[in-house]
Amino acid sequence: MTLVLFVILIALVFEFINGFHDCANAIATSVGTRALSAGQAIILAATLDLLGALSGTAVAKTVGAGLVDTNLINLTPIVCALIGGIFWNLVTWYYGLPSSSSHALMGGLCGAAIASAGGVAGIIWFKPSPEFGFRGFFGDIVAFFKSAGLLPKVLVPMFAAPIVGLLLGFFITSVLYFILGRINRKPEIRTRHANRGFRGLQLVSSAWMAFEHGRNDAQKSMGIIALTLFLATSKTTAFNDLPSWLHFLRTPQFDIADWVKVVCAITMAAGVSMGGWRIIKTLGKNMVKLEPVHGFAAQTTASMVIEAATSIGIPLSTTHVVSGSVMGVGATKRLNAVKWSIAERMLWAWIMTIPICGSIGFGLTWVVMKLGFREG
């Protein structure tokens, strides 16, 4: 029982750190364009993140039961995976790098599962959807992402999401520029009117982005806690002598209980309320000098991509999507408007996230197993 409670505690610590680490995803552009003050942006983000986190469980089910074989792991690898994710989140936060909390957790979980299972059999690589192979080319693309496993849910979206964000951000901003140019051809008047109007519209795009961040990111710890309760119920004796008032912990079948959703949502919102100023500065000010029209386009683009991913249970990196969107809208000004040296640092952080967290998860699990630790 002590181990179960410890795993839940570590999962909530990860959720809290995820909140202040990824807070920049929702508010960096609003703060960078001065559409909102820092305090207003954080209050908006925390509130909408909370509501978003309570709105679904598709991503949570993917994290808890769609990436690793639950028959080949136990509670110990879960703790090791969370520690790996927490470590990398703190390192990248310290250096102001917008890395992916999602991939940190996924990498740690897969590394720990490999160590626990004694090989890659612990990972679900690809479990095709029943629709896959019967719907034509474009239908099969959608069916592929609806499939279970590391390949369709993590690895392919890891590369596809920022590219889609960049291209869509560039397209949307170009369309907005075209429309504004048709309204008024004088650049100085066009810019002044656009900034005034889009500063207000950023309230809407910021709220949407915060809501989608909660829908996707907050659910990852929900999945981990639900998996922990399921394993504790089905594979250990931890819950054999539970008092009646704790029977809600029993989870004989994998499911996301309402109390898990509420606790994770509140924890994520608390983390967001702390603010992630180092990363906010990188995304909102250092990488591209943004104006309100750019902020609106970047947040709208990212929200659209995350909405689509969340609806089919993809634990997407909101950081990757927002960063790609910011680069895309910035490139509409001119290519050298984007500080590509900062983008390169971010790219290396993205590439290294899964291998580093996977190695930590694997190493910690291997050490614990060699020490002969057994769960009750």
Helix segments in 118-257, DSSP class H: 136-146, 150, 156-183, 187-235
H helices, E strands: number in the chain: 14, 0
Domain presence at residue 190:
yes
pLDDT at 243: 82
Say how far apart CA 285 and CA 26 lie, in whole Å.
Answer: 14
Domain presence at residue 155:
yes
List, for residues 44-100, the tens digit of each pLDDT value: 888 888 899 888 788 988 888 889 988 888 888 999 999 999 999 888 888 877 778
Domain presence at residue 140:
yes
Domain presence at residue 245:
yes
Say how far apart CA 40 and CA 77 lie, in whole Å.
Answer: 39
DSSP lists the bridge partners of residue 123 as 68
pLDDT at 125: 94
Residue 244: which domain range? 2-370
Domain presence at residue 375:
no
**Average pLDDT of the chain, as a whole number:** 84
Domain presence at residue 314:
yes
- Amino acid present at 267: T
Closest by CA position to 15, among listed 62, 51, 50: 50
List, for residues 277-332, the tens digit of each pLDDT value: 566 565 655 566 778 888 889 889 999 999 999 998 898 888 788 888 988 988 88
CA angle 79, 85, 87 (to 5 degrees): 100
- Average the pLDDT over 349-372 and give the result: 91
Domain presence at residue 376:
no
In the structure, what pLDDT confidence band is assigned to residue 124 with cuts at 50, 70 and 90? very high
pLDDT at 330: 86
pLDDT at 192: 61
pLDDT cut 90: percent of the chain above it: 30
24 pLDDT higher than 70: no
pLDDT at 276: 58
List, for residues 175-214, the tens digit of each pLDDT value: 988 887 766 555 555 556 666 678 788 888 888 988 998 8
Say how far apart CA 135 and CA 16 lie, in whole Å.
Answer: 41
- Three-state SS at 219: helix
Quote the pTM value.
Answer: 0.86
Domain presence at residue 115:
yes
Number of domains in the chain: 1
106 pLDDT higher than 70: yes
CB within 8 A of 339, min separation 6: which ones?
286, 287, 288
